[in-house]
Structure 1
């Protein structure tokens, strides 16, 4: 099944953040354009989730700018786009709500089937225990006559101490709880419950897809990026995956492949072409990179962002230097 989204992909601009709400767009950009971003959302059913986050995916300004420069994506003012929801036809709204309800019923059906399988497994275990008990009784009956008499006497004595009604009631309760009749009643109860609510991950559709700047969608210009964008674009063009480097005290962390499969190779720090660099900063970066088994990569562009006209010119104007400590 082809999951390639329609290009250009709309990147939602919300409160100064660049967000992606479509899982198809997220997987496509990661697979085809080495764009990972950072997941910042939680699942509706797990509000306390704090290990593996979900949609939306937040992009850095550099990632959003790179996609816009390549013509893969465009920036949409989400606040103004949501105002367009008021102009939807009543039939479109009804169809959209019907689709959400159908998804909720599907989720409930899956959960009901899972519970039914658990009940059947429990019934099988109970039947297996009963068969094992019958087998043990049969083997006890085949024992010598004196052993059988002793067993019968001890069993009678134990029944005098423990009322048989307690055992019978417990067994009856166990059977009634897992009987087919109770399963039928429970399924009726499940059917009578309200439909599970589904929180949509994207507003496209029913919002129209902004395919070009001439459309009615509120498109925004390319994001403003720092001077380090030239180094970011240069490494990206060499096939590296880049993620924010705050946890390592740098600007970016460069991976030779998908971060789910590879460890990073470089701690990346950008510098302007004529910028004076303190030698201690170079030593600190090199020792830090070597300590975490990475290279310290320092680089910059010969030209500023305003002086570059094409993406190829920006990439070619960058020079990089890798610093490592040997013998550590």
Structure 2
């Protein structure tokens, strides 16, 4: 593969056209090749952070098959660069591409903790679980600098509010002190995403994420501190990680996971073009086989938005995946149960007498 055909350290290999924009931006391949030869990262591939101040931060999740009611996303865009990420499409609403822009143009919602406090103080608010994050990873690299997730968790602990976290970054262990306090109240559930046990697969699918070794250690550390951990083997991609289901479930339960879940890859909107371009450059020998099998899981299409079937797929291959998970759970999670979170501790603080920030 020519250097000009592949951008190392990123998931997407191009900036696909934003359907809301009339102009199309492209990158000169000769310029990229020159930068690779000089060992440099071109300025237009460097991550940039833009501070924004939204009016709201707690989002009502309307999709009936996502498994959460409310979410908070301190960041928009995600430097992890997971090639399959469904959140890429949301970047178009901000005027960016779902491709490279999603990974290198990160919006930082600086007033997230204050907005969260205001929401939890509302008289009509009920303590429904709020999940960090339903869209982009709340512990992506930007969090190390801006610490918005930690500040939001401090708010959740102050209100003793049921809290969910979804991440694939070991940075979550930085906030172990807060998580332990929430666990004492039975107000925390964490989901760690582990898509493969092979580092080579992880590096091409999720280029700027924590290593598999670090993620397994994260599961172990959380479990040792009585913090319930779910592992999401998501997404399952035919012929890339579909053969790893039993080994992954075995490894994560040995590390202390109390439950596991999965989804089958779906390539909605611009992600179909981004993924197709990526796999033809990264795994050219497998590309057509993988794409055809993804189509077979979704009624002949790469794009699948149908509630009820889009997450698990359909057809023989999807049935095989479901059967493997059934076997894995019966073998490794037979006697494990996760209780509901406790909402009785919730404090609705109308006039806080402390300074949060």
**TM-score, normalised to structure 2's length?**
0.16
Larger Rg: 1
Q: Identify, as 1 or 2, the structure richer in helix.
A: 1
**TM-score, normalised to structure 1's length?**
0.17
